[in-house]
Structure 1
Amino acid sequence: MFNITCIIMASGLSKRMGKNKLLLQFKEKEIFKYVLDAVSLSDISQRIVVSSYDEILNYAEGLKNFKIVKNNENSLGQSKSISLGVNNSNICDGFMFLPCDMPFMTHSLINDICSFFYQDTKCITVPRIDKKNSMPTIFPYSLKADLLNISGDVGGREIIRSNPKIIRYIDIKNPLLLQDIDTKEDYIRFKNI
């Protein structure tokens, strides 16, 4: 079991989609369920779902070993979900941030990224495809204060940018695994794969 806190971020406003993308039907279930189900099968010890949406929180409550945290201020952007997740976690080796709009995510990929992080737990682990950064990113526990200082809707990008010496990249060969669904075009294109 990895002593990692996985913070699942499910509070977005889906501005580019025009409606809540996480609740859209995608193949056999809603988009958000793919990520929650993948995390539930993973070897992560602490799982926190931060969401503004009761449908997502209720589903997570029915899964094993999930802590649910209601985000009533999602208009403040990703920083609010990050601080809620970090403040509700126990001491751990690292914080994994996983958006809930990645329906091709698998528990084995989550485990692979965690295993990679454990090669050097002082470093930030960033998955990437063709040198393009993606999620889920793992930040070491030592950066807890930095994570709590984030504001607005930028996520952890600024921390990554200001700590180039402690970044380790894990190259993911299958780009589909890290594909997120942001727009109607994404939804139509990937729904039939």
Structure 2
Amino acid sequence: MTPAMDGFLGLGITSITRSIESASQWAVIDELGYLESSCPEFCDAVFRLFDQKQVIAVLRSQSTPFLDALRARNDVFLYDLDHPLLPIGCVIMASGLGKRFGSNKLMADFNGKPMIYRILSATDGALFAARIVVTRSREVEAFCRERKIPVLLHAMPYRNHTVLLGLSALLKEYPELAGCMFALGDQPLLTKETLEAMVITFSQYYQTASPIFRLAAIAEDDSIIPGNPILFGNRYFEELLTLPDNHGGNVLLKKYPDVVRYFPAGDPLELADADTPAELEQLKKAEFNR
């Protein structure tokens, strides 16, 4: 194929310039491939567009100096259509005793279904290569088994035991996991859409880094409010399996602060948990008022 230079120098650059000068914050480019590399002026125009606009662009899956430079930009998020998801596991932490709640809060009614149902629904489907519920509640165990959801009943006392038991069980069946998400059972407004976005984004970052993703909310003053779930790359599995007694993954968040990436929730309420009956009622009302 021979590029039509007049097309790049004429209509191509003119269209990009018009987009740069427009009032819109966004620009869409259907496809950039190897032919564009033959026209430095057109490539420079594309870089100017990326500097000044939010750009959604389709890139061919090949290596050229032009395409490689675009992919290497710090402000670019790359989504690989050929490999959108890595094999990610999910451990649902359901071992709390509900002392502040006064009863088994995971089986408490949340608008017609037990609260544990919400995280089971949010993690269902093909998003995760494997998942398991780790609990000390026979009611939760029975609820999961009725729905053929993998569950592990135990009597160990500490949070690190829940991490160890859950991750070990997943790795026994799926040793090739690239990462593992640890989700709580008492965040009833957490959505599948947020978890999907979190896993997809992690899968792309994983190609060039070893991140820890943590769900967060953005306050009105733009400060970060960290929350759960947390998604660890497999680089951290060995340390997760040997956490100190009565400690969870926060140990690694403090040890490796530079690799923690805060992923914004679609709604700050997704981070809210129900530690008391009053909080549960507030979240029920919040769902209806969305």
Fold match by TM threshold 0.5: yes
Map of 2:244 onto structure 1 = 151
The answer for unaligned runs of 5 or more in structure 2 is 1-84, 219-223
User: Displacement of 1:69 after TM fit?
Assistant: 1.2
- Deviation string for 1:68-112 (max 9, x for gaps)? 211221xx2211110001111122010100010111122211111
* Distance (Å, rounded) in 2 between the aligned partners of 1:39 and 1:61: 16
| Structure number having the greater strand percentage | 1
The two structures have a TM-score, normalised by structure 2, of 0.62
Partner of 1:67: 150
1:129 equivalent to 2:217? Answer yes
State the partner residue of 2:166: 85
For the aligned residue pairs, the C-alpha RMSD in angstroms reads 1.6
1:166 Cα deviation from its structure 2 partner:
1.3
Partner of 2:204 in structure 1? 119
Q: Which residue of 1 aligns with 2:42?
A: none
**In 2: Cα distance, 1:99 partner to 1:20 partner:** 14
1:36 to 120, 124, 136: 120
Q: Is 1:191 aligned with 2:279?
A: no
Q: Which residue of 2 aligns with 1:109?
A: 194
What is the CA–CA distance in structure 1 between the aligned matches of 2:121 and 2:141, rounded to whole Å?
13
Give the stretch that moved more between structures: 92-101 or 49-58.
Answer: 49-58
Letter matched to residue 183 of structure 1: T
Do the aligned residues in 2 keep the contact of 1:35 with 1:100 (CA within 8 Å)?
A: yes
- Does the C-alpha gap of structure 1 residues 33 and 156 become closer, same or farther in structure 2, counting only changes over 3 Å? same
The AA in structure 1 aligned to 2:272 is Q
Provide the rounded CA distance (Å) in 1 between the counterparts of 2:158 and 2:232.
Answer: 19
The answer to whether the 8 Å contact 1:8/1:47 transfers is: yes
Q: 2:270 maps to which residue?
A: 177
Contact map agreement 1:40 1:63 (CA 8 A) in 2: no
- Going from structure 1 to structure 2, the CA distance change for 1:172 and 1:57 (only over 3 Å counts) comes to same
Count of aligned residue pairs for this structure pair: 190
1:153-184 CA deviation, whole Å, 9 max, x = no partner?
A: 33211101110121111122411122211123
Residue of structure 2 equivalent to 1:16: 100
Question: Could you list the runs of 4 or more consecutive aligned residues of structure 1 that deviate by over 6 angstroms after TM superposition?
Answer: none
Confirm or deny: 8 A CA contact 1:7 1:97 kept in the other structure: yes
1:27-46: CA deviation from partner (whole Å, max 9, x where unpaired): 11111111112211451110
Larger of the two Rg values belongs to structure:
2
Q: Cα offset for 1:62?
A: 3.6
Pick aligned residue for 1:140 from 219, 227, 233: 233
In the alignment, the residues of structure 2 paired with residue 146 and residue 56 of structure 1 have an alpha-carbon distance, to the nearest angstrom, of 28
Aligned to 2:142: 58
Amino acid at match of 1:164: P
Give the structure, 1 or 2, with the largest relative contact order (CA under 8 Å, sep 6 or more). 1
| Amino acid aligned to 1:192 | K
Partners of 1:42 and 1:111 within 8 A in 2: no
Amino acid of the residue matched to residue 129 of structure 1? A
Amino acid corresponding to residue 184 of structure 1 in structure 2: P
* CA pair 67-173 structure 1, distance change in 2 beyond 3 A: closer
